[in-house]
Amino acid sequence: MTQTPFHVVFAIFDQITQLDFTGPAQFLCRMPGAQVHVASATLDPVVTDVGFAIVPTTTFADCPQADLLCVPGGLGVAPALSDAQLINFVRNQASEAQWVTSVCTGAFILGRAGLLQGRRATTHWGYTGLLPMVGAVREDARTVFDGNVVTAGGVTSGIDFALTIIAELHGEDVARSLQLNFEYDPAPPFAGGTPATSPKPIVAMMRERFYDARAAEMEAALNATA
Amino acid sequence: MTQTPFHVVFAIFDQITQLDFTGPAQFLCRMPGAQVHVASATLDPVVTDVGFAIVPTTTFADCPQADLLCVPGGLGVAPALSDAQLINFVRNQASEAQWVTSVCTGAFILGRAGLLQGRRATTHWGYTGLLPMVGAVREDARTVFDGNVVTAGGVTSGIDFALTIIAELHGEDVARSLQLNFEYDPAPPFAGGTPATSPKPIVAMMRERFYDARAAEMEAALNATA
């Protein structure tokens, strides 16, 4: 079902939320036959939201065709929506990829490239209301499969998404062995992590202090002509 | 209780398991007042286990004193045990740090620096049997606090460790808000992730194919004179 090597391509850009990329990259890189490529416009280091930079392994021009394409999200997505080089790379890669995927607000990059039209999709909980702007059918879930398009929710969802893809491609035993490899038996100190499971005052505070303004910025960027 | 800025210092080296570092870095960087520093011997990019490189933000020589020091693990730990520059940096930083921490096999770097003597500690499940070699009292747990020394288990444990530290320093509401921020409501596709919770044949296969040899390498590196 899968050829070797299986090219996993992450498209990265300034101010990605680095865990959107580094979480799934950790799991997908150990998938049998996988080769991970980290592509950007140039080989210059890409600055992440944490402050440190990541050195791409290839450029958009030189990147091999992805078998699995993954676009992470972050505060860099709103400006990246008008980055024609990035959007064209994603659109071109997606046309031949076996799997077209995103984590967090990376979904809007897929959307801008026209890849979510009529698809069920998810994104970070703070932005799910904007999914119809790119033609997607909003679904509030941790991982959403619609055909060969797989979208994951916010940030840490990317880890569960990666394991789900690994199970799909290589079966349960391989996924379980990588879960053991990375000691993925999560034990968050508190219940929560979604608007439905977190205390209401915390959800309200996070919307007020952060997500309402950020969602408005994203909406403006989506409304702007690319 | 905490001053501003609160310096979070990660000591990185070639062939770290990048999620050991990038997981907790994602959460700790949003802790109120936190400044994350990524320190290495030089500013040259540090190659991770996934293949991409990370650009340090500072050198061992220029790094500010850590309030929280964190050492990640990975296959690079065995060779790093004889890296005097790294070990001295960790020892010196630890002497003034409020918290001295590790993720995964980063525990053995703390141990080599003499920081685990008589302490309860944990590491990746594949290596816990070696903890007494650095004077530590082995504990099989996801996060172990002993005084100001906090050790986390393998890889993804670093996320739970970070949230636990955040709750300790800033209270439950801040930890819960970051959990919501990063949509950390984990849903692994399978139960498992530790030798106790994974199917026995998978544990046996992973030991045979990987961890027995790696643990022997680590043991040899711990036995070698630094």
Q: Say what the pLDDT of residue A4 is.
A: 81
The alpha carbon torsion through B72, B73, B75, B77 (nearest 10 deg) reads 90
Confidence of residue A226 (pLDDT cuts 50, 70, 90): low
The 3-class SS string of B60-113 reads CCCCCCCCEEEECCCCCHHHHCCCHHHHHHHHHHHHHCCEEEEECCHHHHHHHC
- So where are chain B's domains? 6-224
Distances (CA, A) of A47 to A53, A65, B56, B179: 4, 25, 11, 23
Residues of B numbered 13-52 whose beta carbons fall under 8 angstroms of chain A's beta carbons: which are they? Answer: 17-19, 22-23, 25-26, 29, 36, 38, 45, 49-52
Mean pLDDT of A167-193: 96
pLDDT of residue B4: 81
pLDDT, tens digit, 9 for 90 and up, residues B88-121:
999 999 999 999 999 999 999 999 999 999 999 9
**Cβ contacts of residue B171 below 8 Å, gap of 6+?**
none
Interchain CB distance below 8 Å, A206 and B50: no
Q: Pick the residue of B29, B124, B144, B181 with the most A CBs within 10 A to test the interface with A by mutation.
A: B181
ipTM over 0.90: yes
Active site residue A63: no
Question: How many helices (H) does chain B have, and how many strands (E)?
Answer: 8, 11
| pLDDT score, position B217 | 96
Identify the pLDDT of residue A3: 55
- Encode pLDDT of B110-169 as tens digits: 999 999 999 999 999 999 999 999 999 999 999 999 999 999 999 999 999 999 999 999
| pTM exceeds 0.90 | yes
The per-residue pLDDT for B3 is 55
Mean pLDDT throughout A89-109?
98
Tell me how long chain B is. 226
The answer to whether residue A182 neighbours chain B at the CB level (below 8 Å) is yes
Q: 112-131 in B: which are within 8 Å (CB) of A? A: 124-125
**Using CA atoms in the order A70, A73, A78, A81, what is the torsion angle rounded to 10 degrees?**
0
Cis peptide before A5 (omega within 30 of 0): yes
The whole-number pLDDT of residue A127 equals 97
Over range B3-26, report the average pLDDT.
Answer: 95
Bridge partners, B35 (sequence order): B7
Cα(B144)–Cα(B148) distance, integer angstroms: 10
Gap from A178 CA to chain B (nearest CA, Å)? 8
**Sequence-separated (6 or more) residues with CB below 8 Å from residue B209:** none
CA atoms of A163 and B191, how far apart (whole Å): 12
Q: How many CA atoms lie within 13 A of A139 on its CB side?
A: 18
Hey, of B12, B50, B75, B194, which one would you mutate to test binding to chain A, going by the most A CBs within 10 A of its CB?
B50
The pLDDT score that the predictor gives to residue A122 is 98
Is the pLDDT confidence value at B83 over 80? yes
Pairing of strands A120-121, B120-121: unpaired
What is the rounded distance in angstroms from the CA atom of residue B171 to the CA atom of residue B175? 7
Q: How many residues in total does chain A contain?
A: 226
Residue A81's pLDDT is what?
Answer: 97
Give B-chain residues touching A125 at CB under 8 angstroms.
Answer: 180, 183
The pLDDT of residue A214 is 96
* CA separation for the pair B121, B105 (Å, rounded): 11
pLDDT at A13: 98
What percent of chain B is modeled with pLDDT above 90? Answer: 97
From residue B197, alpha-carbon distances to A157, A168, B206 in Å are 21, 21, 14
Q: What pLDDT, on a 0 to 100 scale, did the predictor assign at position B226?
A: 53
Alpha-carbon gap, residue A194 to A219, rounded angstroms: 21
Class of domain A6-224: alpha beta
Minimal Cβ distance to B172: which of A26, A190, A203: A190
Q: What value, to the nearest 5°, has the Cα angle with vertex A10 and ends A121 and A14?
A: 95
